Amino acid sequence: MRKIKLLLAAVAAMVGLGTSAQSWTASAVASGTYLLYNVGTEAYFTKGNGWGSQASITTDRSGAMSVGLYSVSDKHVIITDYTTKYGLEYLTDGTVYTDQSRNKNSTWTFTQVDTDNGPIYNIISADNHGGGSGTYLTAEGGSSTIVGSGTDGTADNAKWKLLSLATDNTALITSMADATEENPLDVTALIEDATFDSYVKSAWWTVSSSNHNLAGGDASNRCAESWCASFTISQTITVPNGYYRCTWYSH
Cβ-based burial of 17 (10 A; exposed 0-12, middle 13-18, buried ≥19): middle
Could you tell me the sign of the dihedral formed by the alpha carbons of 157, 161, 165, 168, in that order?
Answer: negative
CATH 2.80.10.50 domain residues, the chain = 32-165
* Other Cβ atoms closer than 10 A to 34: 23
Mean pLDDT per block of 10 residues along the chain (251 residues) reads: 38 34 65 89 91 88 82 76 69 80 72 90 78 81 91 95 79 84 84 64 66 55 68 80 81 64
Q: What is the reported pLDDT for 18?
A: 40
Second CATH level (architecture) for the domain 32-165: Trefoil (2.80)
Residue 194 CA from chain centroid, whole number:
11
pLDDT at residue 138, rounded to an integer: 94
d(CA 211, CA 89): 32
What's the predicted TM-score (pTM) here?
A: 0.66
The per-residue pLDDT for 113 is: 93
